[in-house]
Amino acid sequence: MSIEKITSAIIDEAQTECEQIMNAARTKGNGTINALKKRIVEETEVAVRDAEEESKRIVSRRKSVADIDSKKIILAKKQELINRCFDEAVEYIVSIEEEKYIKFLTEAGKNSGLSQGALIFNKNERDKIGAKAVSYTHLRAHETGRNLVCRLLLEKKKKKNNKRNKKQ
**Cβ within 8 Å of residue 91, ≥6 positions away:** none
Q: Is 162 helix (H, G, I), strand (E, B) or coil?
A: helix
pLDDT of residue 137 exceeding 80: no
More confident residue, 102 or 83: 83
The two beta strands, 139-143 and 148-153, are: antiparallel
How many C-beta neighbours within 10 Å does residue 130 have? 23
Distance, first Cα to last Cα, the chain = 138
158 band by pLDDT with thresholds 50, 70 and 90: very low
pLDDT confidence of residue 151? 53
> Cβ(151)–Cβ(140) under 8 Å?
yes
Closest CA to 153 of 124, 168, 125, 133: 133
pLDDT of residue 11: 93
Predicted TM-score (pTM) above 0.75: no
Length of the chain: 168
State the pLDDT at residue 168.
47
C-alpha distances in Å from residue 132, one per residue of 28, 89, 92, 112, 136: 109, 23, 20, 21, 6
